């Protein structure tokens, strides 16, 4: 059976009760602090601000190599607000949003005749 090292146990107990002050309880801790400032990005269609310029540009740069965003019209959709983007998606003629024709409902009579 392993024997517990008494010195190690005492040192471990001492370290577990050691507190280091880390909270700033002064009035300056409650003051607002500007961390990052960026301009709002406006929709290219309606002009509504919907995100920060830096975040929209970063998304566009990350998706520029993706196969779905090789066309400039697809990349331009990322610069639109949610309402204008939906309208642009349904206005496209590339059949992306098309589900096809509705199938004819079948009944028992169809199989009997």
Where are the chain's structural domains? Answer: 40-91
Q: pLDDT tens for residues 53-72? A: 999 999 999 998 888 888 88
- Which residue(s) pair with 40 in the sheet? 52
User: Cα dist. 59→11, 18, 19, 65 in Å?
Assistant: 51, 46, 43, 11
Q: pLDDT tens for residues 35-50? A: 889 999 999 999 999 9
* pTM for the whole structure: 0.54
């Amino acid at each position: 059976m392993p024997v517990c090292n008494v010195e190690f146990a005492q040192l471990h107990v001492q370290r577990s009760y050691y507190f280091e002050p880390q909270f700033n309880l002064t009035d300056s801790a409650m003051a607002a602090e500007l961390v990052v400032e960026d301009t709002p990005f406006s929709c290219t269609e309606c002009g509504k601000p919907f995100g920060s310029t830096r975040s929209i540009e970063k998304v566009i740069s990350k998706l520029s190599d993706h196969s779905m965003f090789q066309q400039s019209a697809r990349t331009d959709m990322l610069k639109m607000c949610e309402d204008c983007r939906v309208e642009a998606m349904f206005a496209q003629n590339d059949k992306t949003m098309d589900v096809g024709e509705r199938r004819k409902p079948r009944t028992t009579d169809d199989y009997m005749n």
